[in-house]
Amino acid sequence: MKILKIIALIFLVAFITIQFFPIELNQSDTVPKTDFLLVNTVPETIQKKLEVSCYDCHSNNTEYPWYSKIQPAAWFLEDHIKEGKAELNFNEWDDYSDRRKNSKLKSIINQIKDDEMPLESYTYIHGDAIFSADEKEEMIQFMEQLRDSL
Amino acid sequence: MKHLKVTTSVLALAFVGLTAMSCKDGKKEEHSDDAMNTEMSSEEGHHHEEGMEHDEMDESNNTMNSEAQASDVKQVMADYMSLKDALVATDKDAAAKAGKTLESALRGLNISSYTAEQQKELKDIVADATEHAEHIGKSEMDHQREHFKTLSKDMIDMVAITGIDSKMYQMHCPMYDGGSEWLSMEKEVKNPYYGSKMMGCGKVEKEIN
């Protein structure tokens, strides 16, 4: 019993200690001119869906949930956002060359088609981020149109 | 009752602790990745330095430099071909390995001997191709093939600018993803998009050189 107590104490101390390692928050008040929604004519439904389902990890501004203040959840989120932004940042859309826009759109279409995006770990908590069959169809069609117009 | 409480809290803390540790492991991996990248880029750095020495040695004459750059392009092409062969053989690991090699060859590509306009185009091509090579380095087979399609388009456009002295064939598969191209050194059709499933699907679209 004594050993268990000691182990518990160690874990408690460890848990408290890791709370002192803050993360760098992905937050920005301004939307740059290069933003996807600014440079393209995007229907309102699509715009909303992109903001709800994609922008948390694929832009310079994340709406953080309450548990993002608690470690180790915060690290987990930080990693995902970093990775997501490196892959595609909707805020920097117009900085991409046409060739890369084309590649990105192709990836967007494929990932939505295959239900790979949004990530399951994200939709688990953000239920409204999930794509219905109709929304999927609409989004893919829009992205394909945009690709053809490049 | 007290025992139960203690056990539950220990379990809860153990869980939290373990998650924390696994997270840290994840970070570590990322770091070692970074370390590898730096190593690679430092190698490239040497590569560039060599190129610069050439510049200093022979400023009036640019041939040395452009020769070195032609061999850079040759290297990229050679890596692309091993990637293609791995996909023909439906060998995911070999394709991933070839993807990584191609990625570093692309990152080291020196394009300074081309005109400003060509450089701009090449930069776009290389940026895009590098990303595809990177993904091929860490994806499953079907994803590798998806990325290979766009990568092939990049390579075709690159060769159109840089030229290449070896004989190559531009192949076309009408079935994969609404029609897809690839490059090959041999005339015989060996389909990288389907492998043994449909090895002979496709035709020579164009001869290069």
Residue A71 confidence (pLDDT): 84
Question: Residue range A71-83: average pLDDT?
Answer: 87
With contacts defined as CB-CB under 8 Å, which chain B residues touch A11? Answer: 10, 13-14, 16-17
- On whether the CB atoms of residues B159 and B125 are closer than 8 A, the answer is no
Provide the β-strand partners of residue B180. B173
Question: Taking CB atoms and an 8 Å limit, are B127 and A100 in contact across chains?
Answer: yes
Query: Which residue among A14, A76, A97 places its CB closest to the CB of B23?
Result: A76
Q: What is the pLDDT of residue B35?
A: 43
Is the peptide bond between A72 and the residue preceding it cis, with omega within 30 degrees of 0? yes
% pLDDT > 90, chain B: 49
Chain A residues 2-61 with a CB less than 8 Å from chain B: 4-5, 7-8, 11-12, 14-15, 18
ipTM for the assembly: 0.79
Q: Cβ of B6 and A1 within 8 Å?
A: yes
Mean pLDDT, range A44-68, rounded to an integer: 90
pLDDT of the residue at B21: 46
Q: How confident is the model at residue B55 (pLDDT cuts 50, 70, 90)?
A: very low
CB contact under 8 A, A15 and B124: no
The pTM for the full model equals: 0.73
Task: Give the residue on A whose Cα is nearest the Cα of B143.
Answer: A110
Measured between CA atoms, the residue of chain B closest to residue A109 is: B146
DSSP-based three-state secondary structure for A24: coil
CB proximity list for A91: less than 8 A, separation 6 or greater? A28, A31, A32, A34, A35, A36, A59, A60, A61
pLDDT given for residue B209 in this prediction: 80
User: Cα–Cα distance between B179 and B156 in angstroms, integer?
Assistant: 15
DSSP secondary structure letter of residue B62? -
> Which residues are CB-neighbours of A3 under 8 A, at least 6 positions away?
none
Among A1, A72, A103, select the one facing B19 at the smallest CB separation. Answer: A72
- pLDDT tens string B126-164: 999 999 999 999 999 999 999 999 999 999 999 999 888
Question: A5, A11, A92, A113: which to substitute to probe chain B, counting the most B Cβ within 10 Å?
Answer: A11
Partner A contacted by B185 (CB < 8 A): no
The pLDDT value recorded for residue B64 is: 57
Average pLDDT over residues B112-129: 91
pLDDT band at A32 (very low <50, low <70, confident <90, very high): confident
Neighbouring CB atoms inside 10 A of B128's CB total 25
Whether chain A has a CB inside 8 Å of the CB on B8: the answer is no
- State the DSSP string of A99-115: HHHHHHHHHHHHHHHTT
What is d(CA B77, CA B91) in angstroms, rounded to the nearest whole number? 19
Residue A53 has pLDDT above 90, yes or no: yes
CB A60 within 8 A of CB A91: yes
- Confidence band for B1, pLDDT divided at 50, 70 and 90: very low
pLDDT number for residue A66: 79
Percentage of chain B modeled with pLDDT above 70 = 67
Pick the range with the lowest mean pLDDT from A49-58, B85-94, B105-114.
Answer: B105-114
Is B125 in Cβ contact with A79 (below 8 Å)?
Answer: no
